[in-house]
Amino acid sequence: MPVLKGVGQCLIHAPNLLYHNGTTQTVERLKNPDSEYLKKLPEHLRKYDDAVAYAPNQAYIGNISLEELKTIPRPWYPNSINGASRFGKYGEIMPEDEFYGLLKIADAFDLVILEESFQEEVKEKLAKHKLINEQLLARLTNAKPLGEIEKLVASHTAEGLYLGEKLVGCVRQAHEIDENLSAHIMLENLVVKASGILAVLHLLANTGINPAEVDYIIECSEEACGDMNQRGGGNFAKAIGEIAGLVNANGSDVRGFCAGPAHALLQAASLVKSGTFKNVVVVGGGAVAKLGMNGKDHVNKGMPVLEDMLGAFAVLVSENDGLNPIIRLDVIGKHNIGSGASPQQVMKALVAEPLAKLGRKITEIDYYSVEMQNPELTEPAGAGNVPEANYKMIGALAVMAGEIGRADIPTFVQKHGLPGFAPTQGHIPSGVPALGFFRDALLEGKISSAMVIGKGSLFLARMTNLFDGLSLLIEKNPGKTEETTGLTKEAIREMVAEYLREMAKGLLS
């Protein structure tokens, strides 16, 4: 059985990328450049310390458990967490200036240009980072004077990198005509790469695995890297692995909108189970486009714009060590082409059907991780509490199966559900962000099983009206059992008899 050996979960505070590059803001700038929203937005951007002390962010990096988060009353944003810190047991919350440095470290084509004094400042800060070694620091080269950067941004051949009003760098276009290599796309893709690198570095540190022992990498974010002849050609996975030092790894990208990580996890576990690879890393970088997606509603309601975090995650799937939680592959929940798209049909395919095949009840699974979007981000925009709606649907299926009464749904949601805590970064909230919490709870013996559910909106690509989803069951490791050969006494007797017959034939001839 493949096991979940560890996680890396990181956030990057990115208020300036939000302001300049989030699609809600870029569209508004095009359609309504003098809008009140754009004028008011800077006053609603959070300071780094406030983002660090925000309870859901502390939960994402593992400083508070999801059970603890349940007990912290909402609203969370006005109530900072005492003793909050940048680093947690799963990863960190990186400030934007250091992340710009990491963008340069991730850059392989001299597209990121940092201003000279800024690069020196950021180099000093990153030199103190426990996971940024000399080799990575040495990639901080080719800084330019501010004037050169200003010219590039003014000529619309580069996207500016800002800290407030100050221009501190830029990301250049990689081609004059090709839209796929425009400055805008290069910035988005380099952010995926850099944030993915950060998550992998934390994963390596958390698991203690030798980077040279990673065999394969699967990247599962929602961006596409390629040029005009192969848009989405890839390969973020190897690009991330190269910088993170995974020298013996091959890799590829898996896409499936928000369900991408669930598909990647399934493939990683299958590659390990088949014996093809021993150690597979699944990694997903963050989405610039979604920063400030519901910003207008947050500003209208006088709130800070809370969608200022880029999310990234990485997990290591390895061969059975008899200790870490197992990923079951005998029964998978999958939304089929013919499953139907209503919430009831989707959840039936992802939860009720696989559990029925195992002869398990819905109420027997300790926790479900669904779409774990932080409701504090979605409720002001009218999208409601997404995880809660998902849990109610699972509870309703338990009612239909006769496991609980209709009046028991709220109790079911409270017992088997978890609070939404992940930033609205598409694939980041979809099932996988609870993996760190699940692994800890399973190792500590607090629970025995948990289900990870990924869901994806395929219709957004205008190729199909279909929905998508995939679920996997993670369970406590029952301990390593000796591999048996499968040979029975009967079979051995037959083999000996065959050998003796052959020998007799040889003697006779």
Partner 1 sequence: MAILAGKKVIAVGDRDGVPGPAIAECAKSAGAEVVFATTECFV
**Given the complex with partner 1, which of 371 and 440 has the nearer CB atom?**
371
Residue position matching structure tokens 């037959």: 494
∠ CA(331), CA(336), CA(342), 5° rounding? 110
Whole-number Cα distances in Å, 417 to 70, 122, 376, 402, 451: 10, 41, 17, 19, 11
**Given the complex with partner 1, which of 460 and 496 has the nearer CB atom?**
460
The maximal CA–CA distance of the chain, rounded, in angstroms, is: 102
Contact 413, 421 (CB under 8 A): no
Contact 136, 200 (CB under 8 A): no
Tell the smallest beta-carbon distance from residue 410 to partner 1 (Å). Answer: 19
Please choose, out of 108-116, 126-134, 263-271, 457-465, the segment that lies near partner 1 by the rule CB under 8 A.
Answer: 457-465
Beta strand 279-284 with 216-219 is parallel
Give the per-residue contact string, 250-269, with partner 1 (x = CB under 8 A; - = no).
--------x-----------
Of positions 14, 378, 441, 476, contacts partner 1 by CB under 8 A: 378
By CB under 8 A, tell whether 146 contacts partner 1: no
Query: How far apart are the two ends of the chain, measured CA to CA in Å?
Result: 50
Give the per-residue contact string, 312-351, with partner 1 (x = CB under 8 A; - = no).
-----------------------------xxx--------
Long-range contacts of 146-149 (CB under 8 A, 24+ apart): 146/115, 146/116, 148/113, 149/113, 149/115
Please choose, out of 84-92, 103-111, 361-369, 373-381, the segment that lies near partner 1 by the rule CB under 8 A.
Answer: 373-381
By CB under 8 A, tell whether 369 contacts partner 1: no
**Given the complex with partner 1, which of 5 and 455 has the nearer CB atom?**
455
By CB under 8 A, the residues from 169 to 188 that bind partner 1 are: none
Cis amide linkage into residue 75, ω under 30° from 0: yes
By CB under 8 A, tell whether 465 contacts partner 1: yes
Of positions 382, 402, 479, 506, contacts partner 1 by CB under 8 A: 382
By CB under 8 A, tell whether 91 contacts partner 1: no
By CB under 8 A, tell whether 27 contacts partner 1: no
Give the per-residue contact string, 415-444, with partner 1 (x = CB under 8 A; - = no).
---------x-x--x---------------
Contact 286, 195 (CB under 8 A): yes
Contact 254, 217 (CB under 8 A): no
Q: What residues make contact with partner 1 under the rule CB under 8 A? A: 258, 341-343, 371, 373, 378, 381-384, 386, 389-390, 424, 426, 429, 455, 457, 459-460, 465, 467
